[in-house]
Each structure stands twice: as structure tokens, then as C-alpha cells.
Amino acid sequence: MPESVKHVNQIPVEKVSAGSHTYRQVLIGPDEGPNFAMRRFIMEPGGGIPAHTNTVEHEQYVLRGRARIGIGDRVYEVKAEDVLYIPVGVPHWYEVLGGENFEFLCMVPNRDDQIKLVGSD
């Protein structure tokens, strides 16, 4: 693919069905980047995603806001400029803290991702 330069506001926003008050933008998708994708997640106050696993690892960078995030057996409070690595298959969940949107980038390899809610079959 050729080069591209775009602003996040030009990129469509889709609702994340597994989450509440959670939206996603695919900033650079598998159609453009040959090896990995860059997505932005936006969670409104009171929102989040319940515990789930993925079949791809996540590399994340918090852009703004605060959240409580569970990864495996541990719980973290995260804020802007925090960097997270979530390995394949480790259950994780998100809960927005405070009255501001929680926004982060989430990069994943271009590989089939099976999302499974913990407790479901």
C-alpha cells in the first residue's frame, strides 16, 4: 500500500458490541499495514469491556482518561502515557474511572482474532 497521512477525526467510529459505552476506530487496518493493525478505543464514563480472552496479543498506549484494568489475576489503575502488554489468551477487562473518556491505542498482529468472554463457552 502507498503512504497515508490522516487525522483520527476522518476515521469511522464503530460500537464495540462486547463492551458498554465503548467505541473503536481502525486507524491502520490489515488492508493497509502488512503485519499489524492500529486501532483506537474510546470508552465513555461508566463504560468498559467485561473479562475476555483474545487469540492475538495487545500492545496498548493510553492516550487520555483513567481506567481500572484486570489482566490475569492482577488489577491495575492506568492513566495517560501508560503502556500495556497483554499476552495471547490472558483474560482481561476494562472499567472506566472518573468522568472523562478513557482512550487508548491497541495494536494487534494481522491474524485471526477469536474473542471469548470469560465464563461463556
State the amino acid at position 68 in one-letter form: R
Q: Whose Cβ is closer to its own copies: residue 16's or residue 84's?
A: 84
Q: What is the DSSP letter of 11?
A: S
Q: Judge contact between 66 and 97, C-beta under 8 A.
A: yes
Residue closer to its own copies by CB (options 19, 69) is: 69
Among 21, 24, 30, 38, binds its own copies (CB under 8 A): 38
Give the footprint of its own copies on residues 55-94 (CB under 8 A): 57, 59, 61, 63, 69, 71-72, 74, 76, 78, 81-87, 90
* Sequence letter at residue 103: E
Given a contact cutoff of 8 angstroms between Cβ atoms, the answer to whether 67 and 43 are in contact is: yes
Contacting residues for 97 by C-beta, under 8 A, at least 6 apart: 65, 66, 67, 68, 77
Q: Does 23 bind its own copies (CB under 8 A)?
A: no
Cβ of residue 78: shortest distance to its own copies, in angstroms? 6
Backbone angles phi, psi at 38, to 5 degrees: -115, 120
Least Å distance, CB 73 to its own copies, is: 10
Query: Where do contacts with its own copies occur on this chain (CB under 8 A)?
Result: 1-9, 11, 27-28, 32-36, 38, 57, 59, 61, 63, 69, 71-72, 74, 76, 78, 81-87, 90, 105, 107, 109
